[in-house]
């Protein structure tokens, strides 16, 4: 058995106090997001500030988590894009209760968000799809995401055919591909602190974008 008991680190880079937080969790998320984005060591360490873990309850009853990229956020919530026929797309269609989380290791921070996922409008999905490079557009069409395939060669052959079909043509968004908006109902901010006495501040939605705020024991 591999013993990881000696893997220890002291967290001492920042603090999270009630005296310095806004009433709205999206404002605090925006502050943290930009602080991490501007932190010199983050990209150098290979990090992507908009990488987040999306957890769903699968059709088999098991939770499943995977990393995707956050593409937009606002007071309404957090948007990512995917194939609606994928495993996570079908899981969300069956149970829209999801959790998304961010881990920004260079600043010793986590954000954990419970929310309700819903499809974005077709216009929102079209706008984002149109902004993608042609290779990414074709990749979305080629992949029957989460389905079993014989080999990688199958994907590459389909891509080559599509590249010829759409040469010098606009590439439309397929109906099975688009965005999900996760509307938050609870947002927890976690800041690493010394001696494992981490700061945890939880926002819970009351109604109409009003939030209760509590400190949680680490």
Catalytically annotated residues: 196
Q: Are 211 and 136 in contact (CB under 8 A)?
A: no
Picking from 31, 190, 34, the residue whose alpha carbon sits closest to that of residue 105 is 190
Do residues 173 and 155 lie in contact, with contact meaning Cβ atoms separated by under 8 Å? Answer: no
Q: Output b/e per residue, 113-141; b: 16+ Cβ within 10 A.
A: bbbebebbeeebbeebbeeeeeeebbebb
> Hey, is 35 helix, strand or coil?
helix
Q: Which residues contact 69 (CB under 8 A, 6 or more apart)?
A: 48, 50, 51, 52, 80
What is the rounded CA–CA span in Å between residue 119 and residue 170? 24
What is the DSSP track for 119-158? Answer: EPPHHHHHHHHHHS-HHHHHHHHH--TTS--S-HHHHHHH
């Amino acid at each position: 058995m591999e013993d990881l008991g000696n893997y220890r680190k002291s967290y001492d880079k920042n603090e999270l106090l009630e005296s310095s937080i806004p009433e709205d969790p999206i404002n605090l998320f925006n502050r943290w997001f930009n602080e991490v984005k501007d932190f010199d060591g983050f990209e150098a360490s290979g990090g992507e500030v908009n990488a987040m873990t999306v957890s769903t309850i699968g059709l088999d009853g098991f939770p499943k988590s995977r990393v995707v990229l956050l593409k937009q956020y606002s007071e309404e919530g957090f948007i990512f894009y995917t194939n609606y026929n994928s495993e996570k797309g079908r899981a969300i269609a069956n149970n829209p209760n999801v959790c998304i989380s961010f881990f920004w290791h260079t600043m010793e921070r986590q954000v954990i968000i419970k929310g309700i996922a819903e499809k974005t409008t077709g216009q929102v999905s079209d706008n984002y799809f149109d902004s993608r490079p042609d290779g990414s557009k074709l990749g979305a069409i080629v992949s029957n995401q989460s389905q079993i395939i014989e080999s990688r060669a199958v994907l590459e052959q389909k891509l080559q055919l599509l590249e010829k079909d759409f040469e010098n043509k606009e590439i439309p968004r397929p109906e099975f591909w688009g965005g999900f908006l996760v509307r938050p109902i609870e947002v927890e901010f976690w800041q690493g602190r010394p001696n494992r006495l981490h700061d945890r501040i939880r926002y819970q939605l009351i109604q109409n974008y009003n939030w209760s705020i509590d400190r949680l024991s680490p």
